[in-house]
Structure 1
Amino acid sequence: MNLRGSQNLIKTPDFTTASNLEVLILKGCTKLVDVHPSIGVLKSLKLLNLKDCKSLRTLPTKIGMESLETLILSGCSSLVRFPEIDGKMERLKTLDLSGCYRVENLSENLQQAKFLEDLDLSETAITEPPSFIFQFKNLKVLSFNGRKGPTYKLLPNLPSLFKVIQGRRTNPMARMLPLLSGLSSLRKLKLRDCNLCEGDIPPDMSGLSSLRSLDLSGNNFISIPASLTRLSKLMSLELSNCNMCTLGEADTHSDFSGLSSLSYLYLSGNNFISIPLALTQHSGLQLLVLSDCKMLKLLPALSTNKRVKLYGCSSLEVVASPSKVCNLVGCDILAINCFKLAEKINALTLLKEHIKALPNSRKWFANGFFDIMMPRSEIPEWFSQQKSDFSIKIPLPINLRKDSQWIGVACCCIFVNNDASRHNEVIGCKGSIFRGRNCRRIYWRNQWASQSFDKPIMKDHLFLRYFPRGHLYPISLEDKYGDCETNNLWTTDCLDQIGDELELSFNGPNDGCVKVKKCGVRIVYEKDLEEMKELQCDTTQSSPNFEHIHQHSAHNHGSLGSTSHMKRKRNIYEENFFNFVMGQSRKKH
Structure 2
Amino acid sequence: MKNLKIFIIYNACISGDVHYLPNSLRVLDWCGYPFQSFPPNFRPKQLGVLNMPRSRIKQLGEGLKHLTKLTSLNFEGSQFLIEIPDLSSSPNLRYLNANGCTSLVEVHPSVGYLDKLLVLDFSYCCELTKFPNKVRLKSLNFFGLYGCIKLESFPEIVDKMESLNELNLERSAIKDLPASIGHLIGLESLNLRGSAIKELPSFVGNLTVLNTLFLDGSAIEELPSSIGNLTAVTTLTLEGCENLANLPQSIYGLQNIRHITLGQCPKLVTLPLNAESLPLEVRTNANNPHDDGWVMYFEECNVSNFDSLENFCWWSMLIRINLSKSNFVSLPVCISKCVNLLYLDLTGCKRLVEILVQLPVSILEIYMADCISLERFSTLSKILEDGDMQDISYMDLSNCHRLGLDVSKMAKIVLNNEVTYLSFFYIINMHTLHILLILYYVRCTHD
Match of 2:324 in 1: 268
Q: Which residue of 2 aligns with 1:306?
A: 364
**1:341 maps to 2:316:** no
Higher helix share: 1
State the one-letter code of the partner of 1:142.
L
Relative to structure 1, is the Cα distance of residues 355 and 227 closer, same or farther in structure 2, using a 3 angstrom cutoff? farther
Give matches, 1:227-306, under 5 Å: 227=274, 230=283, 232-233=285-286, 235-244=294-303, 247-248=306-307, 259-276=315-332, 279=335, 282-299=338-355, 302=359, 303-306=361-364
Q: Does 1:215 align with 2:240?
A: no
Please name the residue that 1:132 is paired with.
203
1:465 matched to 2:440? The reply is yes
Contact 2:133 2:156 in 1 (8 A): yes
Label 1:351 to 1:318 Cα distance change in 2 as closer, same or farther (>3 A).
farther
Shift in CA distance, 109/182, structure 1 to aligned 2, threshold 3 Å: closer
1: CA distance, partners of 2:77 / 2:313: 53
Structure 2 CA distance for partners of 1:15 and 1:265, relative to 1, 3 Å:
farther
Equivalence for 1:184: 231
CA shift, 1:273, in A, is 1.8
Q: Find out whether 1:353 has 2:413 as its counterpart.
A: yes
Q: Retained in 1: the 8 A contact 2:213–2:235?
A: yes
TM-score normalised according to structure 2 size: 0.63
> Could you list the per-position Cα deviations for residues 199-245 of structure 1 after superposition, in whole angstroms to 9, with x for gaps in the alignment?
x5454544333333333331545566553795754823333333235
Normalised to the residue count of structure 1, the TM-score between the two structures is 0.49
Residue 139 of structure 1: how far off its partner (Å): 2.3
Deviations 1:449-501 (A, max 9, x none): xxxxxxxxxx998765322444xxx74xxxxxxxxxxxxxxxxxxxxxxxxxx
Tell which has more relative contact order, 1 or 2 (C-alpha 8 A, sep 6+): 1
Residue 420 of structure 2 aligns with which residue? Answer: 408
Give the secondary structure class of the aligned counterpart of 2:228: helix
Match of 1:330 among 378, 389, 392: 392
Secondary structure of the 1:339 match is coil
- 2:27 is aligned to none
What is the DSSP-based 3-state SS (H/G/I as helix, E as strand, rest coil) of the residue aligned with 1:58?
coil
For 1:49 and 1:311, locate their aligned partners in 2 and report how far apart those are by CA, in whole Å: 45
Deviation at 1:329, TM superposition (A): 0.4
- 8 A contact 2:400–2:435 mirrored in 1: no
CA contact (8 A) 1:73 1:98 kept: yes
Task: Give yes or no for contact 2:347–2:369 (8 Å, CA) kept in 1.
Answer: yes
Alpha carbons of structure 1 residues 352 and 249: separation in structure 2 relative to 1, 3 Å: farther
Deviation, structure 1 residue 284? 0.6
**Partners of 1:231 and 1:259 within 8 A in 2:** no
- Is the partner of 2:317 in helix, strand or coil? coil
User: Measured at CA, do residues 135 and 147 of structure 1 come closer, stay the same or move farther in structure 2, by a change above 3 Å?
Assistant: closer
Q: Which of residues 113, 120, 125 in structure 1 aligns to 2:191?
A: 120
Contact 1:246–1:272 (8 Å) recurs in 2: no
Cα distance in 2 for residues equivalent to 1:24 and 1:412: 59
Q: What secondary structure, in the 3-state scheme, does the structure 2 residue paired with 1:227 have?
A: coil
Q: Where in structure 1 are there 5+ consecutive unaligned residues? A: 149-160, 163-172, 364-406, 416-458, 476-589
Tell me the percent identity. Answer: 26
Alignment RMSD (CA, Å):
4.2
For 1:290 and 1:204, how far apart are their aligned partners in 2? 28
> What CA distance in whole angstroms lies between the structure 1 residues aligned with 2:100 and 2:205?
32
One-letter amino acid of the counterpart of residue 67, structure 1? S
Counterpart in the other structure of 1:542: none
User: Out of 105, 108, 119, which is 2:176 matched to?
Assistant: 105
Offset of residue 267 of structure 1? 1.9
Change (3 A) 1:306 1:274: farther
2:132 match: 60
- How far, CA to CA, are the matches of 1:146 and 1:47 in structure 2? 26
User: Are positions 1:48 and 2:120 aligned together?
Assistant: yes
Structure 1 CA distance for aligned equivalents of residues 193 and 300 of structure 2: 18
- Residue 81 (structure 1) shift: 1.7
Residues in 1 aligned to 2:338 and 2:250: alpha-carbon distance in whole angstroms: 24
1:434-449 alignment to 2 at 5 Å?
Answer: none
Whole-angstrom distance in 2 between the partners of 1:145 and 1:282:
25
Shift of 1:71: 1.2
Q: CA deviation at 1:45?
A: 2.8
SS in 1 for 2:316: coil
Partner SS state of residue 465, structure 1: strand
2: CA distance, partners of 1:326 / 1:224: 37
1:409 partner SS? strand
Deviations 1:415-469, CA, capped at 9 Å, x for gaps: 9xxxxxxxxxxxxxxxxxxxxxxxxxxxxxxxxxxxxxxxxxxx99876532244
1:496 paired residue number? none
Q: Indicate the SS of the match to 1:263.
A: strand
